[in-house]
Amino acid sequence: MSEIEKLYENVGLLYCSKCRHDSELDCIYMCESKYPPFTAEKQIGLIKWLVCTPEEAITFEETLSKQVNDLWQSLTEEEKQQVKGILE
């Protein structure tokens, strides 16, 4: 089982790609995929949830930058170069 499948099972989201509705027991055994697509929008949503606290009135961009800045001293030189490459 992949980590994505594990995440969907942890939150209780099973889905039938053929029937396009929450899967029922009979449907799970007939369909190839029982998980919804793990889209870029969902991934960004999870990143926002991980790094943003609702009490803070700052933007997502500021919060994400703050998280990276807070981690900066703990990063290896290779990780610092990776961050630099992303920002270039």
Tell which residue, 31, 26, 6, 3, has the closest CA to residue 16: 31
- What does the pLDDT read at residue 32? 57
What pLDDT digit, counting tens, does each position of 1-59 carry?
Answer: 788 888 887 887 766 655 555 545 555 555 556 677 888 888 888 887 777 765 555 77
Mean pLDDT across 62-84: 89
> pTM for this structure?
0.55
- pLDDT, mean of residues 49-78: 80
